[in-house]
Amino acid sequence: MAYTQDNSPFKKLKHTTTGKGRHFLKAKEGAGMTQAGRDAYNKETGGDLKAPQPGGGARRDSYCARSKGQMNMHNIDCSKTPDKRICAARRRWKC
């Protein structure tokens, strides 16, 4: 059984990848949240989500390490399944 958080702010967001004001990109577009999605999340939670940092830096290093752990945990090989969302997001972050 998967663990779910009942009070997660992501549950309150529209999980849409099509149409005007969509909050997430499709996997073919690089996955991840759109600016509208980040704005909605920040408004809901008072957070400060930022856009991907493909140019390098501490945020990029942290994301790449974290996502590598997710890939290992779920046995995902991007050379075999490049259309997975995690693989697209890692390409977008230039991991």
pLDDT digits (tens, 9 = 90+) for 74-88: 999 999 988 898 999
Residue 76 near residue 88 (C-beta atoms within 8 A): no
Residue type, 21: G
pLDDT given for residue 44 in this prediction: 84
- pTM exceeds 0.75 for this model: no
For the record, the structure tokens of 4 come out as: 């779910």
Mean pLDDT split into 10-residue runs, the chain, 95 residues: 65 69 82 87 88 87 94 94 90 88
The structure tokens 């005007």 sit at: 20
The structure tokens 């390490």 sit at: 65
